[in-house]
Every structure is written in structure tokens, then in C-alpha cells.
Amino acid sequence: MDTSIAIASDRDVVQARQRGRALALELGFSASEATLIATAISELSRNIVSYAGHGEITLRSTTVGGRLGLVIVAADSGPGIADIELAIRDGYSSMGGLGLGLPGVRRLMDEFELISAPGRGTTVMVTKWIP
Amino acid sequence: MEVPILKQGLFLIATIQAALSDADLVQLRSALVHQVVRCRSLGVIVDVTAMDVLDSFASRTLLEISHMIRLRGADTVIVGIQPEVAFAMVQLGLTLEDIPTALDLEEGLAYLQQKFPSAH
């Protein structure tokens, strides 16, 4: 069952991360893991507001090989990212690369996938598995 | 959501009551800087116990609050960062640089009172 949250303002960022935390706890993640997930959602949804204006966060549970996980998809049809390598390059600080915080989000989650092209919007899909 | 700012002698205490949006954080920054000037405060405590997440924007805003208040000659202490929030901040690569932090409001007040023994 997918949960989609429209993202268009900073209030939606708070709403999305609270929904994500609730779902994470429901699935059996620890409070600490749920906070990592909420933090990743906060970063991804803020990028939507800052760079695309609006977009959507989709949350869903997944089971692969008996493992339960939470998938977050952050999608927008904004300007897109020309240099994906640079956007996910881990810099010295959290603001490394293009300053999108994507290297940080990658560290918070277990799986990370970025699909983007100039003029084609941006989709980030991340997954956290229950250990 | 407005954050109440309490004046206690020459110190100000801002207690965040719930998860704040980016706009709320920016509003808090502005309110604190103005209050420090108006009250001639020597120290500010920001209690973030109720913050569910301290992401890059929140961390940067707390740093800005501390730096602006330092330019006024006053000190800022951040108190109440929850253990899981601290864990996520470290994973994300965020630090509060040189801002003093304390376990809770009581410890934060003790820190400021030690620094400014004649302030209360």
C-alpha cells in the first residue's frame, strides 16, 4: 500500500517526515532507525520545495527475500540535475557535491538510486531495511 | 508555530514545543536576535527536546542563531538534542561546530551561570 504526500511547502516537509516516521515504527524499525528515515525524508522533500517548487513523496513497504524494508520515492518535475556524479559525490562537509545533501541521505539509507536529467525532473528512490 | 521565549534574568530561554517548519526556524532566529538586543541578554538557551529531526536546514539555522547572537556579545547553548536525533545528525555529517550543548535546560542554565556568575 503506497502513501503519497504532495510536497509544495515547508509544512509539507514536516508532514512527510512525520508520516514516514509513523510508518517506519509501524513496520518494526527502532526509534533510532525511524529518526534516520524521517531525516532522509526531510532532506529529500526540502530539495523538492527548494529546487522544483512541488513534487511528491511516496512511502511504501517492501519485502525482498524475507527482508522487510521501507522505500521512499521523492519525485519532482523540476529542472533536473545535469551532473549526477557531482550531486552524489561525498564532499568534505555535509554540503559536499552540489549542496543537495544527497551524499548525506545516501549514508542514512541502505539503498540509493537517483534518476534525473536536465528538464526531465528528478526522482530519488531510497530504501532502508530492517536489520 | 511560534516558539515562546522566556526571559530569566539576563538569560533568554526558547523552548521549542513541537516539530518546526523551516519558516518557524527562521522566525525563531529573528525573534531571538531581536530579544537579545531588547533585553540586553548575556546568554540564550534553545531547548530542542521536542524537535523530531535536526536536518541540514535546522542545523544551519541553529548555527546562524549562535553566530548572530555572538556578534551581540552573548552566548547560545543548545540543549535537549535527543539521542536518536544526534545519531542521525552524525550519519548525515552535520555538526553544530563550536556551539556549546548541554543535556537539558538545567545543565544549560548551569553552564551560563558559571560563565556569567553575576548575571542572576
What is the ipTM metric for this complex? 0.91
| Confidence (pLDDT) at A88 | 81
Count of domains for chain A: 1
Pick from B82, B91, B94: which is nearest to A36 by CB? B91
Q: Chain B, 68-87: which have a CB under 8 Å from a chain A CB?
A: 82-85, 87
CATH number where B44 lies: 3.30.750.24
Domain that holds residue A125: 3-129
Contact criterion met (CB < 8 Å) for A94 and B84: no
Note if the pTM is more than 0.90: yes
The rounded mean pLDDT for chain B is 94
* Averaged pLDDT, B13-39: 96
- What's the pLDDT at A91? 59
**Chain A contact for B97 (CB, 8 A cutoff):** no
Q: Supply angle C-alpha B113, B114, B116, rounded to 5.
A: 60
pLDDT digits (tens, 9 = 90+) for B53-109: 999 999 999 999 999 999 999 999 999 999 999 999 998 888 888 899 999 999 999
Least Cα separation, residue B85 to chain A (angstroms): 6
Contact B111, B100 (CB under 8 A): yes
CATH code of A43's domain: 3.30.565.10
Q: What is the pLDDT of residues A29-78, one digit of tens each?
A: 999 999 999 999 999 999 999 999 999 999 999 999 999 999 999 999 99
Q: Between B19, B57, B91, which is nearest A107 by CB?
A: B91
pLDDT level of residue A89 (50, 70, 90 thresholds): confident
* Interval A5-23: pLDDT, tens: 999 999 999 999 999 999 9
* Residue B120, domain member (yes or no): no
- The partner residues of A112 in beta bridges, in order of sequence, read A126
Q: Would B54 be classed as within a structural domain?
A: yes
Q: Which strands sit side by side in the sheet containing A3-7, from one edge to the other?
A: A3-7, A55-64, A67-76, A122-129, A111-116
Interface of A with B (CB under 8 A): 9-11, 13-14, 17-18, 21, 31-32, 34-36, 38-39, 42-43, 46, 93-95, 101, 103-105, 107-108
- Range from A36-40, A88-92, B22-26, B89-93 carrying the lowest mean pLDDT: A88-92
Task: Quote the pLDDT of residue B27.
Answer: 97
Report the number of distinct structural domains present in chain B. 1
Supply the range of the domain harboring residue B69: 5-115
Q: What percent of chain B has pLDDT over 90?
A: 88
| C-alpha cell read off for B108 | 544549560
Q: Do residues B61 and B55 touch, judged by C-beta distance below 8 A?
A: no
- Number of other CB atoms surrounding residue A117 within 10 Å: 11
Q: Which run of H or E residues covers position B65? A: helix B56-71
Is the residue at B63 inside a domain? yes
